[in-house]
Amino acid sequence: LGLVTVLWAYLRNSAFKKDGVDYHVSADLTGQANHLAATIGADIVKQKMAENNGGYKAVNFGYTDDRVYSKLTSDNPIDLVRYQLANCY
């Protein structure tokens, strides 16, 4: 047996709350956190279930394509979690 890496990929930034909406649980922003966790080789990634989407646009953070919101995801919570998972490759 070897060591196991468990990484909590939770977002913590006051700038992710904008206009009364909490984007800490946004599928696109948490998906990026999941991607970083997978990139550094975490064996288990713990993440909160996505409740909304559009964090990149709302907080003007990073670069994204509009097709992410129109073709890859919907407002359905299952689709949002699928998008989070896809970011882990």
Work out the pLDDT band at 20, boundaries 50, 70, 90.
Answer: very high
Contact criterion met (CB below 8 Å) for 46 and 9: yes
Model pLDDT for residues 38-88, shown as the tens digit of each residue:
999 999 999 999 999 999 999 988 888 888 888 888 999 999 999 999 988
Instruction: Indicate if the pLDDT at residue 15 is higher than 80.
Output: yes
pTM (2 decimals)? 0.86
Contact criterion met (CB below 8 Å) for 59 and 21: no
Instruction: Indicate if the pLDDT at residue 1 is higher than 80.
Output: no
> Which residues belong to the active site?
46
Neighbours of 38 (CB within 10 A): 15
Contact criterion met (CB below 8 Å) for 74 and 47: no
pLDDT score for 81 = 93
Q: Phi then psi for 17, rounded to 5 degrees?
A: -105, 115
